[in-house]
Amino acid sequence: MKTKKNKFVFFVFFTIVLFSSTILIKEVRATSTTIQKPTNYQQFNGLLNGDYITFKFIIVGPYESYNTYIDGQLDHSLHHVGVDIQYDAKSFINNYGRGEHSFTVSVSVGGGPSPFSMTTRSIVMDSVYFTVDPPICHFVGFGFDFYDEYSIAPLRWRSSIEPFRDMLLSDRAKYIPGYFATHYNWNDADVISILGTLDTKEKQQDIVVVLFSAHGHHVFPRPLGGAWIHSHTTTTNPEIGWTPAPLGVTSVELKGWLSVLETDNLLYIMDSCHAEDFLYRGKQLTNKKHLMAACEWDETSAHELWSYDPSDPLADRIDQMNSPFLRKMCQRFYNYYSDTDTAFDTAWSWIITYHPDWDQHPMDFNNLQTALYLCHQP
């Protein structure tokens, strides 16, 4: 038989348990996380350089702490509650890559007024899945950066390649940058390796720029006879005075190495003497592309002997590019936001009109489905 004291103790204990349970249930149920942005299965496939992905989540009720995760990794960049958080698209792709991603917010709940709630810490979570797969821009440039017998200008080819590269990395670049590589004093193995790495990173929607600015020769004195380019200045045959073809990249080889690329936005530029054969072989690629050659099969690629200072601002270095063909195009890209067709036409007209003495006739072939713009106004 229960005494009044026992009944009272039991009543107090039962009341405390009931009250604690009610408070705990209300506490947990009153705390929730709701991710408002991105929405589940949203696709971010149209992002450009300078764009942002917006994250927004709401936490309702008492909480002690929260964390945000992307693909299961704690992300310290997302550290506000209940406000729009802009994540730079370029940084996001650098950190997490392209494809499907998850975004999770977790909240630590507990420590309420009831002593029993101290043992019932909870994690309330909300997750969404989304895709980030925009077109990005890749660039590979091959050249030569020492003095040679053909030029008294230092950094002749570097001055043609690096401003082009840096333009695609600038705030005026239209597309988020991807894989970038420049190489000087290269050989077949180097070109194969760099293009092989590019192949693992580019997709069909990507923009791919392949630029050669180096020595060029032809094997036979007729169109399409076997032009080749090289980055070597040490001649192994002093009787003929130039590096033999086995030490260079031929148009047939380069066409074969490029054939593995998926891109349908290929910009392929040959700024070398006797470049027409590279244009001819490039037409055989199945990709949608804009091919450009600085000159015809029996012409030389003229270079004006300008000075070049790598420490100058980008706009100045574009104006210092030793290749007038590349310089005129890059000026149109960077200053006037022209597409590749307009930029080429501008360079062609300038050379033909103002420098007929060069005996140089740039050539191109364009079957891109839409006009390709490399820069936009920042």
What is residue 23's predicted lDDT score, i.e. its pLDDT?
43
**336 CB contacts (<8 Å, ≥6 apart)?**
none
Q: What is the mean pLDDT of the chain?
A: 84
The matching CATH number, chosen from 3.40.50.1820, 2.60.40.10, 3.20.20.150, 1.10.10.10, for 30-132 is 2.60.40.10
Question: 317 near 163, Cβ under 8 Å?
Answer: yes
Pick from 101, 98, 121: nearest CA to 111: 121
What is residue 78's predicted lDDT score, i.e. its pLDDT?
78
Task: Specify the domain boundaries for CATH 2.60.40.10 within the chain.
Answer: 30-132
In the block, tokens 């077949």 appear at: 188
The larger pLDDT score, comparing residue 219 to residue 150, is at 219
What is residue 26's predicted lDDT score, i.e. its pLDDT?
44
Residue 201 has pLDDT above 70, yes or no: yes
Instruction: Compute how many other C-beta atoms are within 10 angstroms of the C-beta atom of residue 247.
Output: 16
Q: Average the pLDDT over 143-148 and give the result.
A: 64
Residue 375 has pLDDT above 70, yes or no: yes
Residue 214 has pLDDT above 70, yes or no: yes
d(CA 187, CA 228): 12
SS3 142: strand
What is residue 241's predicted lDDT score, i.e. its pLDDT?
53
Least confident range from 48-62, 221-235, 293-307, 360-374: namely 221-235
Q: What is the pTM of this model?
A: 0.85
Q: Which two tokens stand for residue 93?
A: 């792709």
Backbone angles phi, psi at 124, to 5 degrees: -100, 125
The larger pLDDT score, comparing residue 342 to residue 215, is at 342
pLDDT bucket at 117, cuts 50 / 70 / 90: very low
For 1-57, write each residue's pLDDT tens digit: 455 555 544 444 445 444 444 444 444 444 678 999 999 999 999 999 999 999 998
**282 CB contacts (<8 Å, ≥6 apart)?**
251, 255, 258, 268, 289, 291, 365
Which CATH class name applies to 136-366?
alpha beta
Q: What is the dihedral of CA 278, 284, 286, 287, to 10 degrees?
A: 20
Q: Which of 114-128, 193-207, 308-322 has the highest mean pLDDT?
A: 193-207
Question: 82 near 116, Cβ under 8 Å?
Answer: no
Q: Average the pLDDT over 288-300 and give the result.
A: 93
What is residue 128's predicted lDDT score, i.e. its pLDDT?
97
Q: Which two tokens stand for residue 375?
A: 């820069």
Least confident range from 51-60, 70-79, 105-114, 203-212: namely 105-114
What is residue 19's predicted lDDT score, i.e. its pLDDT?
43
What is residue 319's predicted lDDT score, i.e. its pLDDT?
95
Task: Specify the domain boundaries for CATH 3.40.50.1460 within the chain.
Answer: 136-366
For 168-196, write each residue's pLDDT tens digit: 999 999 999 999 999 988 888 999 999 99
For 215-225, write each residue's pLDDT tens digit: 888 766 565 65
**320 CB contacts (<8 Å, ≥6 apart)?**
159, 163, 306, 307, 308, 309, 312
- The neighbouring-strand residues paired with 111 are none
Distance of alpha carbon 217 from the chain centroid: 32
Least confident range from 197-211, 290-304, 318-332: namely 290-304
Backbone angles phi, psi at 122, to 5 degrees: -130, 160
pLDDT bucket at 157, cuts 50 / 70 / 90: confident
Residue 332 has pLDDT above 80, yes or no: yes
DSSP-derived pairing of the beta strands 215-218 and 207-212: unpaired
The larger pLDDT score, comparing residue 116 to residue 190, is at 190
Question: 303 near 156, Cβ under 8 Å?
Answer: yes
What is residue 94's predicted lDDT score, i.e. its pLDDT?
95
Pick from 177, 180, 176: nearest CA to 198: 180
- The neighbouring-strand residues paired with 35 are 57
Q: Which two tokens stand for residue 181?
A: 């590589």
d(CA 229, CA 248): 5
Question: 299 near 360, Cβ under 8 Å?
Answer: yes
Residue 266 has pLDDT above 90, yes or no: yes
Cα of first residue to Cα of last residue in the chain, in angstroms, is 86
Q: Average the pLDDT over 145-168 and give the result.
A: 75
What is residue 298's predicted lDDT score, i.e. its pLDDT?
86
Calculate what percentage of the chain has a pLDDT beyond 70: 78
**288 CB contacts (<8 Å, ≥6 apart)?**
264, 265, 266, 367, 368, 369
Q: Average the pLDDT over 281-298 and give the result.
A: 95
Residue 358 has pLDDT above 90, yes or no: no
d(CA 271, CA 278): 10
Question: 296 near 238, Cβ under 8 Å?
Answer: no
